[in-house]
């Protein structure tokens, strides 16, 4: 199983860009990188997924260098409602197998 390492916590202010980096040194060739967001007492919610280079959607961007041993989730102009735990997951290479959650990063956004 590919293991991921993220910062335990990060603090930011409203309107700032937040970048959360995840290390996954043992990522396999067929693995995708997926980020989830979780609010207290709710199930995790899919944010973004990528394989290489850059992926952007309406809520975030994901940057993946050529060696794919790390990835960076970028949240533009965060607001108070972005306060949550963010998890980086790396797939086993074949959908249908288990994804294992790491410890996640608790992002706190202040006004």
Partner 1 sequence: DAMVIQNPRYQVTQFGKPVTLSCSQTLNHNVMYWYQQKSSQAPKLLFHYYDKDFNNEADTPDNFQSRRPNTSFCFLDIRSPGLGDAAMYLCATTVAGVTDTQYFGPGTRLTVL
The residues binding partner 1 (CB under 8 A) are 32, 34, 36, 41-46, 49, 87, 89, 91-92, 94-104
Residue among 7 and 102 whose Cβ is closer to partner 1: 102
Give me the sheet containing 70-75, strands edge to edge.
18-23, 70-75, 61-64, 53-56
Of the pair 16, 100, the CB lying nearest partner 1 is at 100
Identify whether the C-beta of residue 86 lies closer than 8 Å to the C-beta of residue 37: yes
Least Cβ distance, residue 77 to partner 1 (angstroms)? 25
Quickly tell me which residue has 């949550």 as its tokens: 84
Question: Considering the complex, what minimum distance in angstroms separates the CB of residue 58 from partner 1?
Answer: 16
Give the closest residue to 7 by CA, choosing from 108, 97, 91, 78: 108
- CB of 62 or CB of 104, closer to partner 1: 104
């Amino acid at each position: 199983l590919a293991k991921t390492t993220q910062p335990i916590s990060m603090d930011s202010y409203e309107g700032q860009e937040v970048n959360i980096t995840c290390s996954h040194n043992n990522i396999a060739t067929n693995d995708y990188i997926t980020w989830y967001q979780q609010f207290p007492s709710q199930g995790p919610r899919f944010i973004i997924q990528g394989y290489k280079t850059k992926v952007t959607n309406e809520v975030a961007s994901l940057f993946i260098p050529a060696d794919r041993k790390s990835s960076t989730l970028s949240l533009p102009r965060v607001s108070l409602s972005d306060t949550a735990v963010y998890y980086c997951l790396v797939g086993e290479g074949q959908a249908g197998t288990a994804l294992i959650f790491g410890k996640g990063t608790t992002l706190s956004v202040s006004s």
